[in-house]
Amino acid sequence: MDLVSVVLEILEGRSLGAAVLELLVLMVPIWVALFLGVLVGWAWKPKWANLPGAFSEGSVVSSPPPPDSGRESIPARAISGQTLSPLVPALSEGSGNGKSSSEPHATISNYSLAKVKYEDSGLVNYVDLVHLCRLVEVKDGGPSWIHMMDRSTATMSYQAWRREPQTGPPQYRSRTVFEDASPELVRDFFWDDEFRLKWDNMLLSASTLEECPATGTMMVQWVRKFPFFCSDREYIIGRRIWESGRSYYCVTKGVPCTTVPRHNKPRRVDLYYSSWCVRAVESKRGDGQLTACEVLLFHHEDMGIPWEIAKLGVRQGMWGAVKKIEPGLRSYQQQRASEAPISCCAFMAQINTKVSADYLSSLDNDSSSSSESSEMANETRESKEKNQLGKNISKLLIFGGAVILACSLDRGLMTKAVIFGAGRRFGQIRR
């Protein structure tokens, strides 16, 4: 049958307004259902939807790969353009100020060895050091930090900030100052899993999976207790410490591990980053002596629960959890003062890769220009991708709605033809 004659037959004895009204009445519930489906889908989207790409076995879980000019991409969050060449003058062979020469340490004196360690370290490497340094200096290019808390006791002060990146979970930054504590003691305290089990009541178990006596790099497995409505969480953590003078850059992050099988309970947390800088600062007594210790912590993780609920829990329980740290630290001080044997983790905490202060300052200088250009390129590319994606989604929704409406009607071939034609026409207008 000719298309024109079909149109005349369908519209015969019916006004255009009545036909349009009937179509609108039929389309409203379908479009409402479609809108609710899209809304629910985005509200409960899976965890992988937040990630920029799939992870290979050797990739860093918490670090998406940024672009680099003429080189293979290096996985690191919020760092771009950092290449291997600045590592040449990186490494100092000095023993460090204020630290006993009897402590074990790792040094690298030439470019080839630095390159080997950089490329072979599948857990924690110099890119992570760069990232932590930029976080400490507030030069990572991320969103502004929002102040959350400012509390103190007689021998401890605590400040906390939060920020929310466009993708990924909320990020937290804190500054804690312990009076009458050395940075070496605090470094060992946070690394000592055996002693942590005594003061951290959220840590159910901790075990060492791998360790490198040359660099101090470790892979550990944690199981942490969660509230009754959640299963406990398992963490596979890679960690390493760099030393510059009496400042210690301690990196811990989630790493892939195929030797430990996954289980439903406890649930494994893949996206995990918790790193800190420990250094000596002046006491609040104002005597000019560096007898206090400052800890700058940067933390984020995807625990597998809605981020808004996680934010509420952090906000309500932060200070209560922080207050438990100092009694544990003072108890650790007493134990170390008694010259009791130290644990294996505490011994590994003393194996640090030494870097010079000049190298740390050069990291920002070398990476600032390249990161600015790459960030501009990223923004331009993301803008184009979002525009194209928006156009495609609009066309898809319009055409999909037309398909749903046409398939839900039993009004003959012409009704469906009209609906398909209208959908295609609106899709072309959206261009």
CATH number for the domain harbouring residue 183:
3.30.530.20
Whether residues 37 and 164 share a domain: the answer is no
Q: Tell me what pLDDT residue 74 has.
A: 30
Q: Tell me what pLDDT residue 73 has.
A: 32
Whether residues 1 and 117 share a domain: the answer is no
Whether residues 89 and 40 share a domain: the answer is no
Q: Does 405 reside within a domain?
A: no
Whether residues 147 and 20 share a domain: the answer is no
Q: Tell me what pLDDT residue 60 has.
A: 36
Q: Tell me what pLDDT residue 52 has.
A: 40
More confident residue, 420 or 109: 420
Whether residues 3 and 142 share a domain: the answer is no
CA–CA separation, 417 vs 411, rounded Å? 11
Residue 120 CB neighbour total at 10 angstroms = 8
More confident residue, 309 or 410: 309
Whether residues 232 and 282 share a domain: the answer is yes
Q: Does 6 reside within a domain?
A: yes
Q: Does 79 reside within a domain?
A: no
Domain end: 379, 399, 423, which one? 379
Whether residues 32 and 150 share a domain: the answer is no
Q: Does 20 reside within a domain?
A: yes
Whether residues 171 and 292 share a domain: the answer is yes
Whether residues 144 and 3 share a domain: the answer is no
Q: Does 61 reside within a domain?
A: no
Q: Tell me what pLDDT residue 285 has.
A: 85
> What b/e sequence results for 236-245 when a residue is b if at least 16 CB atoms lie within 10 Å of its CB, and e otherwise?
bbbbbbbbbb
Q: Tell me what pLDDT residue 260 has.
A: 93
Range of the domain at 20: 1-44
Q: Which residues on neighbouring strands pair with residue 275, listed in sequence order?
A: 298
**Cβ 127 vs Cβ 82: under 8 Å:** yes
Residue 208 CB neighbour total at 10 angstroms = 14
Whether residues 94 and 192 share a domain: the answer is yes
In the structure, what pLDDT confidence band is assigned to residue 241 with cuts at 50, 70 and 90? Answer: very high
Stretch 157-182: mean pLDDT, rounded?
95
Stretch 330-342: mean pLDDT, rounded?
93
**pLDDT tens digits for range 29-83:** 777 777 676 665 555 555 444 444 333 333 333 443 333 333 333 333 333 333 2
Please give the mean pLDDT across all residues of the chain: 73
**Count of structural domains within the chain:** 2
Nearest to 78 by CA among 62, 90, 93: 62
**pLDDT tens digits for range 347-402:** 999 999 999 888 887 766 665 554 554 455 556 565 655 566 555 555 555 555 55
Q: Which residues on neighbouring strands pair with residue 162, listed in sequence order?
A: 146, 172
Stretch 239-255: mean pLDDT, rounded?
95
Whether residues 8 and 148 share a domain: the answer is no
In the structure, what pLDDT confidence band is assigned to residue 123 with cuts at 50, 70 and 90? Answer: confident
Lowest pLDDT segment from 89-93, 254-258, 427-431: 89-93
Q: Does 404 reside within a domain?
A: no
Stretch 13-40: mean pLDDT, rounded?
67
Q: Tell me what pLDDT residue 345 has.
A: 96
Domain end: 361, 379, 397, which one? 379
Nearest to 419 by CA among 402, 431, 404: 402
Whether residues 10 and 114 share a domain: the answer is no
Stretch 322-329: mean pLDDT, rounded?
93
Lowest pLDDT segment from 64-68, 209-213, 418-422: 64-68
Q: Tell me what pLDDT residue 216 has.
A: 94
Token readout for 240 is 């390493």
Q: Tell me what pLDDT residue 108 has.
A: 40
